[in-house]
Amino acid sequence: MRVQIFIDGGNFHHLALKPLGIHAVEFDFDAFATFLADGRNVSEMGKRYYIGTVREKEGDERSRHVMARQTQLFNVLKKTVWQIKTSKLRERTERIIIDERIADYQKIRNKGVTEIVYQAFREKGIDVKIATDLVAAALDDKYDAAILVSSDTDLVPMIDWIRFRFKKKIEYIGFSIPNKSGNGNDIRPTRALIDRTDVQRVLIESDIRKFQLSMPSSLFLKNL
């Protein structure tokens, strides 16, 4: 059976790597792809990684380090023949209103805080690029099964179309990672993806840890 692997880099970061304190440059994506393929043939140009690109902000040391890590990751992925699909990260202002939806909101308001304003980055169009590539590869008969490492429910309509129109199988890779702070915000697989795919694999912390590289991120940066 021929497979192709589609990894939503931002989604993977937030659902698996970040909760475990792992930077993407400290993760062996090629070994991970071999694990996901599980003995099956990965077709030509069949390893795909999608991510929003980071831009350095003048005078912002953190953005410089983040961009350096991302550049290092891209170099490693290119050497192992990954197809890298990017989109721009859009910066926007987010507001959290302090009201009854927030625990102990009265205590917060009594301190004079009525809202929290912060800058956030959002990926633009990654789901569209994944969906487009899934369909294009299905049309060209490049895979028998697509392995999807994303919990983005926006992909569900396209998944339905590929499964029933092209008779291709979709494998969903989800994650189950407890939040160690004990606040109940555990990572769980997405029900919509479980219900609408042919095969479901839920990975736990030990599954992710075995692909963590031993070199710390600080050494990666020094070697740039």
- Quick: pLDDT tens for 138-180: 999 999 999 999 999 999 999 999 999 999 999 999 999 998 7
What the block records as the tokens of 176 is 């189950």
Q: What pLDDT is recorded for position 219?
A: 44
What the block records as the tokens of 153 is 């429910």
Mean pLDDT to the nearest integer, 80-102: 75
pTM of the entire structure? 0.80
Other CB atoms within 10 Å distance of the CB of residue 130: 25
Q: What pLDDT is recorded for position 115?
A: 73
Other CB atoms within 10 Å distance of the CB of residue 107: 11
- Report pLDDT digits (tens) over 27-82: 999 999 999 999 999 999 999 999 988 765 666 676 677 788 889 999 999 999 99
